[in-house]
Amino acid sequence: MSVIDRVRELVAPIVEGAGADLYDIEFAGGILRILIDHEDGIGIDDIKRISRSTSFMLDETDPIPGRFTLEVSSPGLERPLRTEAHYQGAMGERVKIKTFVEIDGARRFEGEVVAVDAEGVELTTPSGSRRLAYTDISKARTVFEWGPTPKPGGPRKDRPNSEEAMS
């Protein structure tokens, strides 16, 4: 059993017991990153509570040889996509994907996720539909789209603009 599988087996009950979802686990460069989520969002108190419980459990069971740093976090606005379930959760969202090798002359793709199955993902891109196999994807994440910034001193929805104020 891999380190990540063993940690997942140990951490999942802690996360679920706290009412959260285990989004992902990463272990690289001596950093164990546990990403947790909840449909209503994750707060700092949730992260602290799960981090303390997880740290204690990992100290007791010692599933990772050597030293490591534990990080417990939310996946963030721009979430990493690594599993079929992650891509399913990103249906209808804009994503950026980087592939291991060039596909039709490109290694970077951006578009909306329109279909997901056990073998890969389909995107609608500016140049048309694109199907990518999971085995070809080296890195993927959702793209958070910021809305326009209101101009300083401009009209706001909560107060009348100058024309409305004059009438």
Top-confidence residue, 1 or 144: 144
Looking at domain 3-73, its CATH superfamily turns out to be RimP-like superfamily, N-terminal (3.30.300.70)
pTM reported for the whole predicted model: 0.77
pLDDT of residue 24: 95
Q: Quote the mean pLDDT of the chain.
A: 89
Q: What is the mean pLDDT of residues 28-43?
A: 92
Residues in the chain: 167
The residues of the chain that CATH labels 2.30.30.100 are: 84-142
CATH 2.30.30.100 assigned to 84-142: yes
Helix axes 44-61, 3-17, angle to 10 degrees: 130
pLDDT of residue 145: 83
pLDDT exceeds 50 at position 167: no
The residues of the chain that CATH labels 3.30.300.70 are: 3-73
pLDDT exceeds 50 at position 162: no
Going from the C-alpha of 81 to that of each of 25, 139, 140, 148, the distances in angstroms are 12, 7, 5, 26
Q: What is the mean pLDDT of residues 108-121?
A: 96
